[in-house]
């Protein structure tokens, strides 16, 4: 009988994908905190709480990368012509533009300006419309 070995690294199933999504969201939240800090919209205590939370989340991502034997640099997916998911080394500072923006930078800009997505969705089976959904999504980092 053959023993089943646990695969590690970038071939370890969903772990790299989930950690990549968590890291994208963490960096997106960090960008929003920086934007609010620069605008003077955060008190010192709010800024301290946000910084501590972001640091703890970053440490957890690093710990999970160690557990699953994933290099944190591997969390940055190259999407070909679309660029990379996360900024290359050197990082990204909100409000500054780069010659090759990452998906993170584009999402941050989108949240900063806001967008409305509206549409209809019909789900059916055997040429029967069974579910109709009318969707309206407002995505912004600013209070409505």
- In this prediction the pTM is 0.75
Model pLDDT for residues 47-102, shown as the tens digit of each residue: 999 999 999 999 999 999 999 999 998 888 888 888 888 887 667 788 787 778 88
**In this structure, what token pair is assigned to residue 115?**
């967008």
Q: What is the pLDDT of residue 73?
A: 87
Coil, helix or strand at residue 12: coil
Strand partners, 125: 128
What is the overall mean pLDDT for the chain? 86
Rg (CA), the chain: 20
Torsion over CA of 98, 104, 107 and 108, rounded to 10 degrees? Answer: -70
Using CA atoms, how far apart are residues 107 and 87, in angstroms rounded to an integer?
A: 12
Looking at residue 90, its pLDDT comes to 65
Q: Does position 8 have pLDDT exceeding 60, yes or no?
A: no
Where do the structural domains in the chain lie, given as residue ranges? 14-112
Averaged pLDDT for residues 94-111: 86
């Amino acid at each position: 009988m053959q023993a089943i070995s646990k695969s590690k690294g970038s071939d370890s199933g969903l772990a790299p994908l989930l950690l990549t999504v968590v890291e994208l969201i963490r960096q997106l939240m960090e960008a929003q905190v920086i934007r609010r800090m620069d605008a003077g919209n955060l008190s010192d205590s709010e800024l301290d709480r946000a910084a501590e939370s972001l640091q703890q989340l970053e440490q957890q991502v690093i710990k999970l990368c160690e557990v699953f034997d994933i290099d944190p640099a591997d969390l940055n997916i190259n999407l070909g012509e679309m660029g990379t998911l996360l900024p290359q080394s050197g990082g990204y500072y909100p409000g500054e533009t780069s010659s090759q923006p990452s998906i993170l930078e584009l999402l941050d800009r989108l949240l900063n300006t806001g967008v409305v997505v509206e549409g209809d969705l019909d789900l059916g089976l055997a040429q029967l419309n069974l579910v109709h959904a009318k969707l309206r999504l407002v995505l912004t980092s600013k209070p409505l």
